[in-house]
């Protein structure tokens, strides 16, 4: 699929990887529906987008909000032919952890579990469902969905919720790619390792350095390097139902 003149929705577009994806798409000639919950950062993104980015405030875990936002963006763009499911959150914690002083066993809470599953797995499900429906209804001949997973899908201690969501997203990439191929919809996933985003930039240098020791390339990826994998999925018409690891060789 050619990016020029494409119409793409990017969730979690206000910062980090999503911001990079939205701007790179716009620079490639696409029109972009940028979805996020941060109004101020969305406004800044729209300003930088050169008139090719329109913003929508939407909680991707809210079914009614996703249905409304997808319908609005599809109407405004006369159909969408691309979707990047990038929105995601962390609520890290061990499954159980004894308190050293009291011996009381602390547990990962249902709030931690449900929040991450809602945004990181239910969100892509809702967005993909509504995107695919409008593709079929509008008879759009070819379209692409890119799911942003993570190296944590292999199972990262302290991230039961996040690992489950990101593993599920790769499984759904396989399922959706098979189910939707008949409608001209390809589905791929990208699984980044550590990426140089505000989350990593806010870490203490010694903590970040320790983390990066496990990466054979001894550094984090740039958001542009992750974008290169996303772009490949969009542009390679024979790619579907698979996940590309962009993790510097990191093993978890």
136-171 per-position pLDDT tens digit: 999 999 999 999 999 999 999 999 999 999 999 999
Question: Does some domain include residue 250?
Answer: no
Average pLDDT (200-221) is 87
Q: Please say if the pLDDT value at position 35 is more than 90.
A: yes
Question: Does some domain include residue 156?
Answer: yes
Q: CATH number of the domain at 78, please.
A: 3.40.50.720
d(CA 71, CA 57): 13
pLDDT for 206 equals: 84
Question: Does some domain include residue 1?
Answer: no
Question: Does some domain include residue 117?
Answer: yes
On whether the CB atoms of residues 162 and 90 are closer than 8 A, the answer is yes
Q: Please say if the pLDDT value at position 15 is more than 90.
A: yes
Q: Please state the separation of Cα 43 from the chain's center in Å.
A: 20
Q: How many domains does the chain have?
A: 1
Average pLDDT (212-223) is 92
Question: Does some domain include residue 143?
Answer: yes
Q: Please say if the pLDDT value at position 251 is more than 90.
A: no
Average pLDDT (181-190) is 98
Question: Does some domain include residue 145?
Answer: yes
Question: Does some domain include residue 119?
Answer: yes
Q: Please say if the pLDDT value at position 205 is more than 90.
A: no
Question: Does some domain include residue 169?
Answer: yes
d(CA 251, CA 151): 8
Confidence at 198, pLDDT banded by 50, 70, 90: confident
pTM recorded for the entire structure: 0.94
Go through 148-183 and write b for each residue having 16 or more CB atoms within 10 A of its CB, e for each that does not.
bbbbbbbeeeebbbbbbbbbbbbebbeebbeebeee
pLDDT for 211 equals: 85
| CA dist list (Å): 27 to 22, 24, 188, 237 | 9, 5, 22, 21
The residues assigned a catalytic role are 162
Determine the structural domain holding residue 109 and report its residue range.
Answer: 7-245
């Amino acid at each position: 699929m050619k990016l020029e003149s494409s119409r793409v929705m990017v969730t979690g577009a206000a910062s980090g990887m999503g911001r990079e994806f939205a701007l790179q798409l716009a620079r490639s000639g696409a029109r972009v529906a940028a979805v996020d919950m941060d109004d101020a950062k969305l406004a800044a993104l729209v300003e930088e987008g050169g008139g090719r980015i329109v913003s929508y405030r939407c909680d991707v875990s809210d079914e009614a909000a996703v249905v409304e936002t997808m319908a609005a963006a599809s109407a405004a763009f006369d159909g969408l032919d691309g979707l990047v499911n990038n929105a995601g959150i962390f609520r890290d914690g061990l499954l159980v952890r004894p308190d050293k002083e009291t011996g009381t066993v602390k547990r990962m809470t249902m709030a931690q579990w449900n929040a991450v599953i809602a945004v990181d797995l239910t969100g892509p499900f809702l967005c993909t469902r509504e995107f695919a429906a409008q593709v079929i209804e509008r008879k759009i001949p070819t379209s692409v969905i890119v799911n942003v997973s993570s190296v944590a899908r292999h199972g990262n201690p302290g991230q039961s919720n996040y690992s489950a969501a990101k593993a599920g997203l790769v499984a759904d990439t396989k399922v959706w790619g098979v189910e939707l191929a008949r409608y001209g919809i390809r589905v791929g996933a990208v699984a980044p390792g550590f990426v140089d985003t505000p989350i990593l930039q806010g870490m203490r240098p010694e903590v970040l350095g320790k983390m990066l020791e496990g990466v054979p390339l001894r550094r984090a990826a740039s958001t542009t390097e992750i974008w290169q994998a996303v772009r490949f999925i969009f542009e390679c018409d024979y790619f579907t139902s698979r996940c590309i690891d962009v993790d510097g060789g990191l093993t978890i």
